[in-house]
Structure 1
Amino acid sequence: MIELGKYAATVLWSYGVSVALLAALIWQTVAANARARRELERQERNG
């Protein structure tokens, strides 16, 4: 593994936060897409 020296905790914490934020953005996008599809299907059924 890469030697991070005295900044290891900060760098790893930053990577963790970045991964968590990316996961949250992906989840939010997928959820918004599902809501939009459901709404579109509802509108198509009701005319």
Structure 2
Amino acid sequence: MSLGPYASFIATSYALVTAVVLILIGWIALDYRNQKARLRELEASGIARRSGRGATDF
């Protein structure tokens, strides 16, 4: 497959997009882990989630 004179531009663009997507996936994974840890801390301190109780638990 010949990309002509734009081969370096195309390859660089794909590489940058791949890097950005991988960075975003990593960022989301770290944020998820931090949010889960924070939620565990809040639940351990006695603060419950509203979605965790039923209508009769008032």
Q: What is the CA distance between 1:3 and its match in structure 2?
A: 1.3
- Map 1:2-13 → 2, pairs under 5 A: 2-13=1-12
- The runs of at least 4 aligned residues of structure 1 exceeding 2 Å deviation read none
> Normalised by the size of structure 2, how large is the TM-score?
0.76
Aligned residue pairs, count: 46
- Map 1:1-47 → 2, pairs under 5 A: 2-47=1-46
Higher helix proportion: 1
Residue 52 (structure 2) aligns with? none
Q: CA RMSD in A?
A: 0.6
Paired with 1:37 and 1:6, the residues of 2 have a C-alpha distance of 49
> Normalised by the size of structure 1, how large is the TM-score?
0.92
Greater relative contact order (Cα < 8 A, sep 6+):
1
Q: Percent identity at matched positions?
A: 26
Name stretches of at least 5 consecutive residues in structure 1 with no aligned partner.
none
For the pair shown, which has the larger CA radius of gyration, 1 or 2? Answer: 2
Residue 49 (structure 2) aligns with? none
